[in-house]
Chain A
Amino acid sequence: MKKVIITSVAIALLLLTGCSDKPTPNISDTSDSSQAKESFAVNTETISGDNTAVIDENANINADSNEMNMASLENKMQSVYFAFDKFTINTEMQSKIAAGAKIANSAASEFMIKLEGNCDEWGSDEYNFALGLKRADAVKKALIAEGVDASRITMVSYGESNPTCSDKTQDCWSENRRVDFKLLP
């Protein structure tokens, strides 16, 4: 009885590993040298030399005359921070948004507002980008509720690729889970 079980297990194991066994290379009869040569006819393969172009995306970027004024206003509009894997706004952040909306509708009223969503470093995938976008969208809805015209607001997500802090600490990670205000002419 025991023997039969062991044999069965051995057969099963052999079959299980069978799929990984390589077939022995089949070499044609090498006694006839002319035949052997023919079957190893050497083809020259050319490895292509394309992909040598370089595209410079900087060429499209122009400086703007309003930059100084916009930068000082941007500094007054405080970033909004979020909890891990969340895109809901807490009451502390709500007051920051209200202050931002006030500036948006007064000193910055001639500018468009760009909301930049950001995440911590845990993931370079699309989900993290979408999380950054949902954060920006939550701030957009809150700004609209504070009276900012929806048509003035645009959004973008940078995922984890725009950190303000790169240390491996929880303080640093929470600094990166944020939405920044930028002004556009």
Chain B
Amino acid sequence: MKILLSILMTITFAFASDTTIQVIKKIDSLPSIAIEDGSSHNNETFKMKFFKSLVADLNVISLFNVDRRKFNNDFDTNEVDAINKNSNYVLKYNLSKNAASGFSVKVKMIKNNEVVLAKNYKVSNSKKYVFVAHAIAYEINNYMGEPSIEWIKKKVIFSRVVAPKKSEIVIADYTLAYQHVIVKGGFNLFPKWASKKQNGFYYTSLNEAKPTLKYVNTRTAKITNIISSEGMMTCSDVNSNGTKLLLTMAPKGQPDIYLYDVKTKKITRITKYKGIDVSGQFMDDDRIVFVSNRLGYPNIFSKSLNSNDIEQMVYYGKSNAAATANGEYIVYKARESSGAFSKNTFNLHMISTKTDVIRRLTASGVNEFPRFSRDGDAVLFIKNYKNQSSIGIIRLNHNKNYLFPLKYGKIQSMDW
């Protein structure tokens, strides 16, 4: 009996912090939260949009049972609406117009008639209201003592194909409610943020004689040509401090992975296989995962930047064509039907390099382009299903997926 107990305890501790193990919570056990609007702003449509964004964010942080009804109540009092007396938390806010332009938001969270959290926000551009909702959700998550969800405040950058050989590069929030087209005209793909600060990005321009990697400073709109290559040129990943890039180039028609030093402009060839080696992603500063067809089909491999030893990472599936890495965890895209001649299903799966467990993250449709958040808390991905393109987010520790559809066009690639 002691042995059985020890085994159970060992299993428990071994997997307690492993995100490949699914954690399933009961909705009923989550605390309830209601939202009360005490705005002096007179635009009802705007107020409703803001309310809906807050509801969506509170759902995504997965800590509450969110009441979707909108209540109106005076902001200045700490009394809550009679109907919300039994709610564990009440979030009150006051949207008001700024004297010049934009708007301000006062927000407070009330528990047992006491204010437990209060914040004020000032926004110069009303179109950015959704970022305020994200910032509020971020603060509430911190208050609840959960690991930080820095990603919720980050901007997503994506390329949207609008016609054959025509695309736009768009900066958005993770729900796609805010969208700003930053590069229009021509055929431009694979945008990638240049650093954590998100004040510049790289992208591939196919409008030149050779595919060219360009850099855009988003504050000044200045474009700099970085490097060109015959055939193919993409920035697959940027290291944690923005000093090194993993590029896929094909100077002689042969797609391989190269390391590019941003300061010295030195280029080092990382892979030398005669087939396809693409999509290098940093696991840490010295090790990458990448996609290769060296076994005759696309699959996920890893290698150190300082040696030629290559390790196969995935032993399941016969077509795994994309991956993202965060420390020991790898999320990859697997084709799950044999289909040259039928509709295909592509699902995302997660493995740990330290265990044999595979966790399936999606269930249907075409799910691709997985991208870990820097803190490893969430995975963003592209879903294409029945002619609609969406951005999806997977909360790994909460076992929840959310989809945010795009109104037109098809998302080709994205970063956040």
| Main SS at interface, chain B | mixed
B131 at the binding interface (Cβ < 8 Å): yes
Kindly state the separation between the CA atoms of A134 and B155 in the bound complex, as whole angstroms. 34
Kindly state the separation between the CA atoms of A144 and B321 in the bound complex, as whole angstroms. 31
Q: Hey, what's the 0/1 contact readout for B116-145 against A, CB within 8 Å counting as 1?
A: 111111111100100110010000000111
* Number of B residues with CB within 8 Å of any CB on chain A: 108
- Contact A61 B186, CB 8 Å, known A12-B9, A130-B255, A163-B164: yes
Residue from A50, A59, A61 having most chain B Cβ neighbours under 10 A: A50
Closest to B319 in A: A85
B175 at the binding interface (Cβ < 8 Å): no
Interface residues in B94-110 by Cβ distance below 8 A to A read: 102, 104, 106
Interface residues in A24-60 by Cβ distance below 8 A to B read: 25-27, 30, 36, 40, 42-47, 49-60
Our count of residue pairs bridging A and B at CB distance below 8 angstroms stands at: 240
Closest to A163 in B: B164
* Docked-complex contact A15 and B16, CB < 8 angstroms: yes
| Nearest chain A CB to B308 CB, angstrom units | 21
- Contact A128 B321, CB 8 Å, known A22-B145, A50-B218, A51-B155: yes
* Docked-complex contact A61 and B341, CB < 8 angstroms: no
- Contact A57 B253, CB 8 Å, known A40-B115, A49-B124: no
* Docked-complex contact B165 and A84, CB < 8 angstroms: no
B87 at the binding interface (Cβ < 8 Å): no
- Among B36-44, B203-211, B258-266, the one that faces the other chain is B203-211
Q: Hey, what's the 0/1 contact readout for A146-185 against B, CB within 8 Å counting as 1?
A: 0000000011111101111000101000000000000010
Residues of the A chain whose Cβ atoms lie less than 8 Å from the Cβ of B11: 12
Closest to A131 in B: B276
Sorting the interface of chain A by its residue count into under 10, 10 to 19, 20 to 34 or 35 or more gives 35 or more
Closest to A41 in B: B118
* Docked-complex contact B397 and A20, CB < 8 angstroms: yes
* Docked-complex contact A133 and B155, CB < 8 angstroms: no
| Nearest chain B CB to A42 CB, angstrom units | 5
Residues of the B chain whose Cβ atoms lie less than 8 Å from the Cβ of A27: 111, 114, 116
Closest to B190 in A: A126
- Among B45-53, B227-235, B309-317, B353-361, the one that faces the other chain is B227-235
Interface residues in B187-207 by Cβ distance below 8 A to A read: 187-190, 199, 205-207
Chain A to chain B contacts (Cβ below 8 Å), 11 pairs: A1-B1, A8-B5, A51-B218, A56-B184, A57-B207, A123-B333, A125-B368, A126-B232, A134-B255, A155-B253, A158-B206
- A residues adjacent to B (C-beta < 8 A): 1, 4-5, 8-9, 11-12, 15-20, 22-23, 25-27, 30, 36, 40, 42-47, 49-61, 83-85, 122-131, 133-134, 136-137, 140, 154-159, 161-164, 168, 170, 184
